[in-house]
């Protein structure tokens, strides 16, 4: 691990050495602990990340796992995850040709055919980083060529596949919830990735990705509640919450990632005023609430009777937000997160993915290779 950014935990007295050891041990737990790992070997040359709450493999988790591996310099594990993704998830024909089925069972059988765009964008970024860190191979291991192909599909699928649809709206440059949708998911917006895509994608698409980065930063601000800073799970292109799937909750599982994304964009590219203000409001809202009391919320802060499904994820992203936040509570979240263990049990997959990403960025080792 090469530390390229400040150790944010030093603000609360935690040494670089202690932070690097915690990152190392957390990675070991996620990938190798007999009881708590969710890295699952499938074939001699392939493996998947298991959503332990649903017992499937998702493009979200596969691409997250690849990003973890490239950051931790584990090409062996990265290649096994990528092999599974290409062997069992990659679509070779039809309107989804070149995309990845978002959910498969642990044998690779498809649970769904359509893609989830957050998987594609993480796949592409992890592959570009792999190319820079380890160099390109051949076939599916020509990382940079595969990354460019994914991005080409994301922007031009309408032209490339019968009845296909791009993952980004060509007019407003916003990512769609799914290709068929004309609305978005604020947590899908990764302007820090698009900034790099504007340097690494096909030359003719680089202007598109630069505009996408600008549009996504503005959209994160637009869709965040002006009082609480909470982002909705799903939102119209004008930022208005769109209710689906979650009993009309606004701030729920997907939405937690927004603060994490703002933090990483700030770390890599500097602050965006509107988004810094949003995560400041978010930290101020949650200040003083114990982790075990986190609920599902409306984005105006109204509590529901539903406990938060992923309380570890909430505290993790609140701590990551300290990179961008101006809240007086920022250092409190760093200390609380430092004392928080990885989650155990059935729901550990999503919580511990976000936990690990937040730990890396706060420790200064989450780097844009």
How far is the C-alpha of 325 from the C-alpha of 306, rounded, in Å?
Answer: 28
Residues noted as catalytic: 60, 254
Length of the chain: 369
Q: Is beta strand 56-58 parallel, antiparallel or unpaired with respect to 39-43?
A: unpaired
Q: 297 with 256: CB under 8 angstroms? A: no
Closest CA to 8 of 313, 279, 340, 330: 330
> Max CA-CA distance within the chain?
57
Three-state SS for 41? strand
DSSP 47: E
How far is the C-alpha of 108 from the C-alpha of 125, rounded, in Å?
Answer: 23
CA–chain centroid gap for 19, Å, is 22
How far is the C-alpha of 39 from the C-alpha of 24, rounded, in Å?
Answer: 16
In 3-state terms the chain splits into helix, strand, coil percentages (rounded to 5) of: 55, 10, 40
């Amino acid at each position: 691990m090469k530390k390229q950014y400040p150790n944010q935990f030093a603000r609360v007295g935690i040494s670089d050495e202690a932070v690097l050891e915690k990152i190392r041990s957390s990675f070991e737990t996620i990938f190798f602990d007999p009881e708590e790992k969710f890295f699952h070997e499938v074939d001699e040359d392939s493996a998947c990340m298991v959503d332990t709450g649903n017992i499937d493999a998702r493009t979200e988790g596969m691409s997250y796992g690849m990003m973890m591996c490239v950051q931790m310099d584990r090409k062996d594990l990265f290649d096994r995850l990528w092999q599974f993704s290409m062997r069992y998830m990659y679509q070779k024909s039809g309107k989804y040709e070149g995309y990845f089925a978002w959910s498969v069972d642990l044998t690779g059988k498809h649970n769904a055919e359509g893609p989830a765009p957050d998987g594609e964008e993480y796949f592409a970024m992890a592959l570009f980083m792999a190319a820079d860190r380890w160099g390109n191979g051949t076939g599916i291991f020509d990382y940079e060529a595969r990354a460019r192909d994914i991005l080409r599909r994301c922007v031009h699928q309408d032209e490339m596949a019968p009845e296909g649809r791009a993952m980004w709206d060509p007019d407003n440059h916003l990512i769609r919830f799914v290709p068929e949708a004309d609305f978005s998911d604020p947590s899908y917006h990764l302007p820090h990735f698009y900034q790099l895509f504007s340097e690494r994608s096909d030359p003719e698409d680089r202007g598109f990705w630069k505009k996408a980065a600008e549009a996504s930063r503005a959209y994160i601000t637009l869709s965040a509640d002006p009082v609480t800073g909470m982002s909705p799970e799903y939102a119209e292109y004008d930022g208005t919450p769109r209710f689906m799937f979650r009993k009309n909750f606004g701030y729920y599982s997907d939405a937690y990632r927004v603060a994490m994304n703002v933090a990483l964009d700030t770390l890599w590219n500097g602050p965006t005023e509107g988004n810094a203000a949003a995560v400041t409001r978010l930290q101020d809202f949650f200040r003083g609430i114990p982790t075990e009391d986190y609920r599902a919320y409306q984005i105006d802060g109204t509590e529901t009777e539903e406990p938060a499904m992923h309380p570890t994820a909430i505290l993790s992203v609140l701590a990551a937000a300290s990179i961008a936040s101006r809240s007086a509570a920022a250092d409190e979240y760093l200390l609380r997160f430092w004392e928080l263990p990885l989650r155990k049990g059935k729901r550990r997959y999503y919580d511990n993915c976000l936990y690990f990403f937040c730990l890396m960025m706060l420790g200064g080792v989450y780097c844009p290779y």
